[in-house]
Amino acid sequence: MTLNLLYFAWVRERIGEPRETVETSAETVMDLVAELKAREPRYELAFSDLASLRVALDQELAEFDAPLAGVREVAFFPPMTGG
């Protein structure tokens, strides 16, 4: 499946780009993260501490064990600091 990945704040800075498209057969967010981490050190760095990361699937907050079936957009970012 084809996924649009979005990165924000320091996740974006560590990965070095705000978005990319990937082909993957990952079943959950966790699987996808493992795939990405295996690619290059910058992903390893960005995803080193999942507790400090949040994920949104098609613009809805989700858990890391959420399934990716039917999802088109996955966004990774640190805890939000709005307001």
Partner 1 sequence: MAVPVRISVQAEDFDLATELSGFGHAANTGATVTFTGLVRDDTGALQHMEIEHYPGMCEDAIRKIADEAANRWALTDCLVIHRFGRLVPGEQIMMVATAARHRSEAFAAAEFLMDYLKSRAPFWKKEVTREGAEWVAAKDSDEDALSRW
Binding site for partner 1 (CB under 8 A): 6, 8-10, 12, 56, 59-61, 73, 75, 77-83
Supply the minimum distance, in Å, between the C-beta of residue 58 and partner 1. 9
Distance of alpha carbon 72 from alpha carbon 83, whole angstroms? 28
Supply the minimum distance, in Å, between the C-beta of residue 10 and partner 1. 5
Supply the minimum distance, in Å, between the C-beta of residue 38 and partner 1. 26
Q: What 3-state class would DSSP assign to 77?
A: strand
Which of 43, 3, 42, 34 is CA-nearest to residue 20? 3
Question: In the complex with partner 1, which residue's Cβ is closer, 25 or 79?
Answer: 79
